Structure 1
């Protein structure tokens, strides 16, 4: 039986772009998604994939849209009414064995093999990807003639309707603690299933303390130990798409790049549209922000609503929308309203981690840019009991996913969009007697409570978090022959080339052995096995994502060949989304047309195997903007590495590319 669910979303009467003066009822509080309860006897989590009925509020029409969408459900929970249009959160730890039983309970849609596997297909077939985890990309236990084996982060598995697949993810001892996520990754159906809301947070929690020897940090710790008692907000940003019948049956709702913008729908947080977050005055909260959508760029900014402490919920929504959701395009520039918006006080995102990896410092910013696949952890505090509006703001064209190409594509909030900003949610602040302190003082106080060494406390007070940054910098490492190039291109398909700025030799995904990218093989006797990657795009902007292996940003060169990854206050070039990313570790990075993103990565020889890299605009990936990758054993020759069948452990009957 398909569970019936009524999603509690913001309930108000009709609002149009011109803003209705009256809004009725109250906003629903945004709470953290349900969490899987780990079994004490080691039983796997039961993750069911099935259709679910529900409702999503549509502010522009002032009504609930009834939907029936593919969803992840907790198979161990008897109360499906508590599930929202976001999957349950999974928590795990370093050195843990995360066990998941994925049960595909979707109807058999008689999926037929496509002549072109880059034509989206098999929408009820699925699999499971743990985005950002540095884990085995193959099998924990290889399949045989008797069973399907136990998979790890193997994206080549095709789990058909009415079948199940066990997974076991061995989290390495040295794995970073941080914010990750999980979603389906079957080539051909990924975008449709993620657009349905099949995404969930995956949190690796750490309790390791840093260690000092002779005034040197000899073992890094987890920043989690400083934040055990800090309020936590898990925020999954989604663009849930559906047609007029409340369903998403095929790619007709996705293939048009302007489909989300034209829908005039609102980004949801944990399944809620225009909900409210509850905070306490001058108390820091950890926001774990995850972009679990397919193609929208988010430019998040928090604005204080003046003299709003006693505003009702409906008045907050009305005022926030009046401040930001005004017409602003090339024909209609309302300088007065733009000035009024910009004069509102902005609250800092004190960002301390990108893509689940703690940085060597906190970075205060008024604008938090999230591209699909990005995660950011930030500490946020609100100094007054006024209400606060959280907007998705307009960026310039080059920083948007759907930048204007030949006047055909329009980003949701690009320069050609009518709205100056779009409200996502708002914040209700409760009065407290806490005094306002800065982020460094807060973290240093937390370190004192944990009785950390004085040296580390002093470092934290100076905004030095190097004792909690899990990866050493590769900036001074020598890279000789180990260099990789990649270019994204759209032209007669969605393609990737192994040369920067190259259109002629670009290819759509083939799944063939001869098109695999081989890495980590020995090129010289003294080679360091560190690769430097140069990433470009010749049409549009694309978020580059590689599985298993994070990378460190070295430089991001704009159209003028200027490095924009530095700090503009120290003489660096200004860039709305790339400033302060120099030497930051990530697993997903946006590559605008005309830019060159230079990264370095060092492969873990304990995680050899086959996986993929791709554009994280997932309909681009489904249609060919993906490439097979193999990490070779550095002790074997390239010829031996190439001789093994790609993803050869996956049985043909279960292989997604057969």
Structure 2
């Protein structure tokens, strides 16, 4: 992980990002030949046999160059969740709809200047690379870091209740592959995004870069976690059990805990939970308290089969961390150390909320509603494979699919057409969840009960759209305008197409012309066809008139020929 950034509401952040990578440190980008070889032998665990169809040769593969994994040694920076200027495209705060991604090559640098509003919610945020084509592999390699806005303010609120045992809890899923014949090692970082259809990769869940780290607390003491799910392509659960009881999947054995904030926005009061489901990008402020000494574990479990098209066994159940709870201090010890118990029970605590109730989106403020559909393609004659779409389109930085105005509220209905999870993330804006549902069976996937248990007053920047499901969100756009993106925060999906541009603000006439070229072209073609029809009709009418005129002239000749005078003349000639 990178260094932690600390800032305050009202600050300006100046970041100089230097790319000290030297080519070719990263792996070579995948080629059509490598994709073709994978398609010939995609793995014995594939559920859908159609993936095993044969493509005659690499030459028969259509290549979507915009969505091929690439630029592994190039990078850029995204400040996830912050209400700041758009900063995905060059330059920062761009209003050019054709602007390219910020792309920092090896040996180069880039300067970011971003302004944090004075009323920005205090909490934990984070940063990571976001160059299309290389975001996933760089995140798998650990290129991420934490960012706090107003951390001291948050600490003071907690310390007034004697909550002082605070730790960061960063969940990360590096991707490895087994390489048995190497002399010095048997694991390597997965080279590129070719293994998405197999279970051959090794996906341990690390916490703070460690396997099963240990945290300590005392009976009656509040343990506070700043939790971040920084996974690249896995969702995760957070469940607390007494050690040895996690394999029972017994709700009665679960140790409850409390949520006091999500995605950098504090709640006004704690919410009691038994289980939370976290997707890549989400953050949670969590309070835990134990009434008995012993060893406890935080478990990731129950996600199997709800991702990767029902394939059981992935992601694997795993212990994320261990908590050692010791006895409460005795009277003699209390003289040496301050009392560790909170000043009030956790349910009685109150906090300054990141947003007030009055700032919630109201139904009458919704300007319009749009549908955003996540879907996947399995065209084995096209690479990258598989293909990922938003509203039937793979990503193109030159196409603006969505548009909004600053300070307006909009509704988006998020549809997940696949039997795997897709976390939706919107840059530089937050939203409230108003509805969630899934066609999957809650009996077969009990964790859906927790995933679908939402509070519509909570503000988020990332939401898990359930497999074969939907989520309805209300977005309150802020003051910042320009070109940004929405995307699936499983970055392997985003890198290969599941992203779309969002333009916030007034469009100039060139942008409007570009955005509406299809219907304008249709109108133009219609006008041309109409003119052609009119021309042909006029030509036909003119020809008909000429024929009629000619016929009329012949009729006149006939009249002259058979007039009474003419007949008399003929008779006279005949008599002579």
**How large is the Cα RMSD of the aligned pairs?**
3.7
Q: Which residue of 1 aligns with 2:261?
A: 353
Matched, 1:441 2:390: no
Equivalent pair of 1:611/1:628 in contact (CA under 8 Å): yes
| 1:255 and 2:255 correspond | no
| 2:314 pairs with one of 412, 423, 443 | 412
The structural deviation recorded for 1:479 is 4.3
Secondary structure (helix, strand or coil) at the match of 2:250 reads helix
In the other structure, the counterpart of 2:403 is 518
Q: Distance in 2 between matches of 1:593 and 1:393?
A: 17
Post-superposition Cα deviations, 1:319-369, rounded to whole Å, max 9, x if no partner, equal x4xx546xxxxxxxxxxxx3xx52773222200111111124311111121
- Give the alignment's TM-score, normalised by structure 1: 0.61
Write out aligned runs for 1:598-617 (5 A): 598-605=472-479, 607-617=480-490
Instruction: Give the structure 2 partner of residue 83 of structure 1.
Output: none
| C-alpha distance in 2 between matches for 1:257 and 1:361 | 43
Cα deviation for residue 583 of structure 1 reads: 2.3
Which whole-Å CA distance do the structure 1 matches of 2:166 and 2:2 have between them? 18
* SS of corresponding position for 1:482: strand
CA-CA distance at 1:482 after TM superposition: 1.7
Q: Does the 8 A contact of 1:237 with 1:291 survive in 2?
A: yes
How far 1:531 sits from its partner (Å)? 0.3
**Of the candidates 573, 587, 600, which is equivalent to residue 461 of structure 2?**
587
TM-score, scaled to structure 2: 0.70
Matched, 1:88 2:33: no
Give the distance between the partners of 1:274 and 1:561, measured in 2 at CA: 31
1:423 aligns to 2:319 (yes or no): yes
Aligned counterparts of 1:471 and 1:92: Cα–Cα separation in 2: 26
The equivalent of 1:288 in structure 2 is: 226
CA distance in 1, matches of 2:410, 2:135: 29
Query: Which one scores higher on RCO, CA 8 angstroms, separation ≥ 6?
Result: 2
Cα distance between partner residues in 1 of 2:513 and 2:345: 55
> What residue number does 1:117 align with?
66
Q: Which runs of 5+ in 2 are unaligned?
A: 32-62, 180-184, 380-385, 516-576
Structure 1 residues 232 and 364 mapped into 2: Cα distance closer, same or farther (>3 Å)? Answer: same
Shift of 1:486: 0.3
Distance 1:194 1:119 in 2: 17
CA contact (8 A) 1:298 1:371 kept: yes
Q: 1:468 to 1:437 in 2, by over 3 A?
A: farther
- 2:14–2:113 CA contact under 8 A, matched in 1: yes
Deviation at 1:238, TM superposition (A): 0.8
- In the other structure, the counterpart of 2:574 is none
Which runs of structure 2 are paired with 1:59-70 in the superposition (5 Å)?
none
SS of residue in 1 equivalent to 2:451: coil
Matched, 1:483 2:369: yes
Residue 403 of structure 1 deviates from its aligned partner by 4.1
CA spacing shift, 1:93–1:324, aligned 2, 3 Å: same
Inter-partner Cα distance in structure 1 for 2:188 and 2:20: 17
Residues of 1 paired with 2:233 and 2:89: CA distance? Answer: 32
Contact 1:108 1:162 in 2 (8 A): no
1:598 Cα deviation from its structure 2 partner? 0.8
Instruction: Give yes or no for contact 1:123–1:250 (8 Å, CA) kept in 2.
Output: no
Closer, same or farther in 2 for the Cα pair 1:174/1:593, shift >3 Å?
A: same
Counterpart for residue 429 of structure 2: 549
Q: Is structure 2 residue 16 aligned with structure 1 residue 106?
A: no
Higher helix share: 2
Distance 1:433 1:580 in 2: 38
Q: Which residue matches 2:167?
A: 233
Aligned to 2:495: 622
- Residue of structure 1 equivalent to 2:207: 269
1:379 to 287, 296, 310: 287
Q: Secondary structure at the match of 1:620?
A: helix
Q: Please name the residue that 2:328 is paired with.
A: 432
- 1:132 maps to what in 2? 81
Contact 2:175–2:190 (CA<8 Å) still a contact in 1? Answer: no
Given the superposition, is the C-alpha separation of residues 475 and 93 from structure 1 closer, same or farther in structure 2, using an over 3 Å criterion?
closer
Change (3 A) 1:366 1:139: closer
Change (3 A) 1:364 1:555: same
2:570 maps to which residue?
none
Post-superposition offset of 1:384: 2.1
CA distance in 2, matches of 1:477, 1:561: 31
* Superposition pairs of residues 159-198 of structure 1, within 5 angstroms: 159-198=104-143
Q: Which has the larger radius of gyration?
A: 2
